[in-house]
Each structure stands twice: as C-alpha cells, then as structure tokens.
Structure 1
Amino acid sequence: MEKEKKYQNVVELTNDWVWEVDEKITFTHLTESISDLLGYKPDEVRGKTPFDFMVPEEAKRIEAVIRPIMEARKNYTFMESRFIHKNGHEVITEASGNPMFDETGRFTGYRGIVRDITDRKHAEEQLKKREEELREQTIRLEEVNQALKTLLKHRDENKKELENKILSNINELVLPYIVKLKETKLDAYQQVYVEIIETNLNDILSPFLLKITSKYLSFTPKEIQVATLIKEGKGTKEIARLMKVGKGAVDLHRHHIRNKLGLNNKKVNLRSYLSSLS
C-alpha cells in the first residue's frame, strides 16, 4: 500500500500521461494529463483501447507492432504513434511500457507513460524538408556550374580556334609578302617601316603583344609602338627618329609605360622587363 501511494505521488508530479491497460489493451487507469494531451477526460477514455483514438491506418500499424510485444511480455520504449485530439488535430506521441503481474505471477496488462513529441517531430520534419531543399538547390547549382564550365570551355575552344586562324593567316598570307617586299629596292625609311611591320606581326605571333594589350588595356597605340621598339633594343633618339617625334615625347611615353607597368621608383630595366613578357 505504501509503495502504491509513493507511485501515485510520482505519477501526479509528471506532466506526461501515465496509463494502464488490461490484457485486452483496454484502458483501466489514466492520469489527468490525458486532458492536456488529447482533450479527453479520463472517464471518456477508460474502457476503450488506444486504437479508438487513432485513424484506422495508424491503429492497424500500432496493433501489429504492440501485440507481439505484449504476447512476449516484453518491455518497450520510445514507440512512436499518432493520436487524434478531441478537436480533430493530430498529436504525435512517444510511449514506453512494462508488463504487469499480480501476486500469483499472472499477467494483468501493461503500465506505461506517453509523452507529447508533436513540436519536436514538426521541427524535425521542417529540418528534414529544409535539408532536402538545400540538397536540391546544391544539385541545381552543381548542374548550373557544370553548364557554365561547358560554356566557358566552348568559348575558350572557339577563342583558341579564332586565334589559330588569325596566326595561320598571318603566317601564310602576310609574312611571305613582307619577305618579298624586303627584297625590293627600298630607301632607308621604307626599310625601317617594313622591319617595324614585320616585327609587329611577329609580336602578334608571340605572347608579348597579347600580354601588354590584354593585361594593360590602358596602353595607347603610341605607347604600344614605343614599348615594341624599346623591346627591340632601340634607344630614345632612334625611336624619336623612326616615329618622327621629339625626344621629349618618347621620354614621356617611356614614363607612362613604366607607370602603367608599375615600374616607377623601381630599379628595373624597361627593355629587360618588356622582353620578359615575350
């Protein structure tokens, strides 16, 4: 009797629903907590089974799980089930139970506890849904990324193909005539201009001009011309003569070139640096 009284005191302190069923799984005892859990008073539930408060599909599923356990007189823990509240909404619960026996050892039913885990399950479902959405977004991003890589690859291939065509045309359709032109009678200035044209065409075929026009887009045509002549080893006086400008203009171009290359205030030879770009 004293033991039973202590048990009852503990039961009254918990917010979970404590219950007892007989061997036919009919409720014989319930705590008041069932009102908070399912909206029913204990008298409305006593004499009925748990399955009476579930949708048919859930009742069939739970009965198929619980009957073998009861027949084997085993304990069970954390059994998840879904009840229908008196007002119609679903309540997700987690139950644990132990078999009961009388003084003679005869099986008399089960006693257990039910806890409301609706909020937790909804949170888990939302998290699972969010994880699935993120997984789908990741897959879509990977597909987009792969498509972009394919497009960039095709663009690079097309760019390379165009570059190769240009270089091939220069080699086959332009340079041979430059060579023939040099074999004709040219005066000194004409000879220099032909050499400049040939040099510039060769630069197009080399990485030098590509680098200074792509990396340093602010280079003016005159600065590109001066840079090319400097790389060839021409001095300021000779460059001025070839370009028909004053030495001051060439010096100014040299200053701008060094500035755009980030070489001002550095002890770096401009010709050596330009040659390193080839």
Structure 2
Amino acid sequence: MARVLVVDDEVIIAMQLEACIQGLGHQLVGSAASGLEALDLAERLRPDIILMDIKMPGPMDGIEAAERIRRRFDIPVLLITAYAEDPLIERAKQAAPLGFIVKPFHGGEIRAAIEVAITRMELERRLRDHERRYQLATSAGRVGVWEWDPETERIYLEPILRTLLGRSGESDWCAFDQWLAWVHPDDRRRVQRQLQDQFSAGVPTLELERRLLHQDGRVFWFLARTQLIEDARTGGRHLVGTDVDITERKRMETALNKSRERFRSLLETTSDLIWELDRECHFTYLSPQIYQLLGYRPAELTGSSLFKLLNRSQVAVLREQLTRMAVAGRDAQRFETVLRHRDGSAVVIETSGVSFHDSAGRLLGFRGISRDVTERKRLRDALVEANLKLEQKVAERTRHLLEATRSLKLQGRELERRSEEAVATNESLREANVALMMMTKSMERGREERDKQQALLVRTRMKPLIQRLEAGNLEETAKTQLQALAGYLDGLAAGLSGGADLAARLSETEWKIALLIKDGLNSRAIAERLGLAVDTVKTHRKNIRRKLRLKNSSINLTTHLMTNLG
C-alpha cells in the first residue's frame, strides 16, 4: 500500500482521483490546490507518490513543483495534464516524472497509470539501492568496471576506476589507445596482445595482472577479469571487465617472497637443523643440515620415525619430553637427547621445539630447531671434573691454611708473652736508670761543692799571696813566672767553680759555641753546624774570651774550655 498525495486545483477531478486511490487500496495522505501548497505538504507528510496537475494557479505550476520536490525530497511524481503539446511535454521531462495522465480520463486509466507508476517507483528504488550497494562494494573493494568495444575502439571506465587512477574529472569514455597509454610500459604490449587474442579467438574469460599509471605518476597493480560478450541479435562482440586494485596484495607478496628468500638463505647457511614431525613423530620436513648432523639426506628420513635414531634407553625420556611439549603448545621447550649417527656414533643434540594444533585444539605435530652439542657437552663434563678437582685442591689448601693459621696464632701468643716480659724488663731498667740518674746528680752536686771550696781557697789564700809577692821587688823573670802562675790559678779557680758559673755568664748561643770549641771545631765548622755566618761565630768567640776574662792572647780558648768544662 502506497501513501499518495493529490495536487489539483479542480475540486471534481481531485475528488475523482481521491476515490480512485482509495478504491485501489492505497492511503490518501492529503490534497493540495497549488504548487506551493504541494511543496509544503510534501515536506511535512513525505508521501510515497504524488499525483500533480501541471496547470495550477499561483507563481509555481506543477512542473516546477514536481522538479523541486524530486530534487529536495526524492519523491516521484505522476503528472496530470489536459494539454499534450510537445513543448510542454519536453519541459515536463526535466522534472523526471513517473508518467503522464491526460485529461479527460476514466477510472481504468487512472488505475493503470497509478499501478504502473508505483511499480516503476519500487523498481527505481530497488535499482538505486542496488546501485548504492554496488558503489559501496566497489569502493570498499577498490573494484572498477570497464567495457571495450573493438569496433569503435572506445572503452568505458566506471567513475570508481577513474578515481582510483586519479582521473575522475575526465569523460567516462575514452579511446582504447588512450587507455592503453595508462598501462605501464613494461606491461603494455603483453596486455594488448592478450586482449586481442581473447577477442579474436573467442575465449570466454581471461584473468591478467598488470600495472596502471596514476595521474600523479604512481604505479598501482590491478587484477583484470574479462568476459567476452556476444550480441545474439547482431553477432557483434565486446569485452566487459573488472579491475581490482591488488597493489597492497602485491606489496605483501613481495614482502613474503623476500621473507621466504631470507628464510631459505637462513636454512642454507645455518648450522642448526630445522625439522617438523607429525603427531605420530614421523618426519615431515628436515633441512639439509641433517646430513652434517647425522649423515643422512633429508629424503632418507622423511616419513620415518624419530625413534629409529634413538637407543632404547632414550626412547622413554624423549616421549616424556614430547608429551610436555604437546601440553605447552606455543611455549618453547628445550631439552637434550642423544641420537645415533649413521656411522653408529652418539651425537648429543640440544633441541628447542613447540607443538602445533588445529583450530579445535587437536595436536597436529611438532616443530623445532636442533644443534650438535656433543663437543660442548664433552667440554662441560671436563669442566665439571676440573671443577671437582679444583674444589678438592681448594679444600686441601684450606686445611693447610687453617693449620698454618693455628700455628701463627700460637706463635703470636708466644710473642705477646715475650713482649709482656720485655715491657716488664724495660720498666725495671727504666726504674734503675732513674735511680742511677738521681745518684749521678747527687754525686755531681757533691763534686761541685768541693770544687767551689777549692776555688774559694785559691781566691782567698793563693791569690793574695801572689799579689803580695808581685808587690815586692822581684826580678823580671820572677814577675813573669808569677803572672803565669796567677793566670793558671785564675783558670783553675774558674774550672773549679764549674760549668754552671760559666753557663750563667754566657748567652745560649755563646754556650753552644763554647761547647763546640771545647770539642775542637773551628769557626767555619761551628758556623755550618749552627747555621750561622763565620763572622758571627768569630764575634761570639771574642765575647766568650771577654766574659771569661781571658785578656792574655797567649791563653788558648780551646785549651781553657777543655780544662774548665772537662
């Protein structure tokens, strides 16, 4: 049932149309008497079809109203007219109506016109839906359709194909040579020959791949599927084809081929064995390295059981490893096993493998990589043995060190004991030394006291006597002897009075110089010893003679100091 809007300014005709519509079982949604009113109702009611009179009062006739309604709301219109002039019909065609009803009319004509219009409307809508889905599908799949008529040498290209090639602004039809120029130069002659052979030989279908040039110079790969169409009426032939953009697929194929080449190179250059087993543990693939590993060609072992390469003692162990691998799935398992070489020797194999399953999770087989680790195991065993020996030597050496440590501890204790004894002995010696020093000082004090008494005796007894003798009338020789005797007595008195009296009369530097003079050092040696200038030392020597009252230059200072300072 269609929803119908009637537009006619003649009330009787409008009523006839409304009755006919309802009689046909369709729904009358409204009626209008002018083009403007029809435009308003079409926007508000959105009917499925409109029956509209061409001649109506007002600024907008039925043709203009129908054209606006179709353009704005895509609602089909069936035009009604009492005029059949060609200019009017030509103008009405611009509105793309579903048909015409010419006045006067009767019920049968209206019924037929409405039924045809509604059927056509449904077909057109289905066609538009199909075209929309077709456009979506071809756009999403990057598929374009073309048609080649060899007789006219022209080719039709769908807009989507032109868009894919960056030529959407050009005409849908072009010369075959122009289209052929879009084919990559390396593919052009092959494509032309294949299409001409299909056409001339009557081959129904053809598939070919070739590169087409984009407007901006880029290159795209397309897969063309062509079909030869023969016109049964005229006997003519033409080709219809589809082009699918396979650029991405080609890129992936190129990458896959490179990956396969890398994998093939890896298989040929690696020293590891790559293998595959079915679920029954029969070899389905072996890389060429099986020959270096076990002495067999891949074809000799393909299809045979893995267990034929094992000793009986290894079978149960390997079955357990494969069981764990089947449970682990994609998680790689690593283990070692011993296989038998073709010459009978044992080869230690290190394997890393996984199991693979179908979509239902059923085990299909195993894949993995194996390598010969016989030498590594031998070295590892030798290393373990060497480590064991080293540990034994270390233990023995540790025992010796412990014994030596215990001996050193005993010796240390003995040294500590002796050290304590030495400390005690040193303490006793120190005490004895202190006592000896005290005794020495006491003796020195006694000697100094005696010396002072003797010096006093010389000064109070002997000197006055000599002075009285000098005062008498003596010969010159006797006076000289008395003077010498007086000098001697002065030196003796000075010596008896002790170094303490002498030190009190001298400065610290003069005292040091006096002691060095007593030891027999000359002025230059004393200067070097005390870090003084030689002239300074000489000046101090003069001061020492003055303070010792040695006015007589014949008295030797060194002798005097040795005599008085002992």
The TM-score, its normalising length taken from structure 1, stands at 0.49
Q: Which has the higher contact order (CA 8 A, sep 6+)?
A: 1
Structure with more strand by fraction: 2
Richer in helix (by share): 1
Structure of higher CA gyration radius: 2
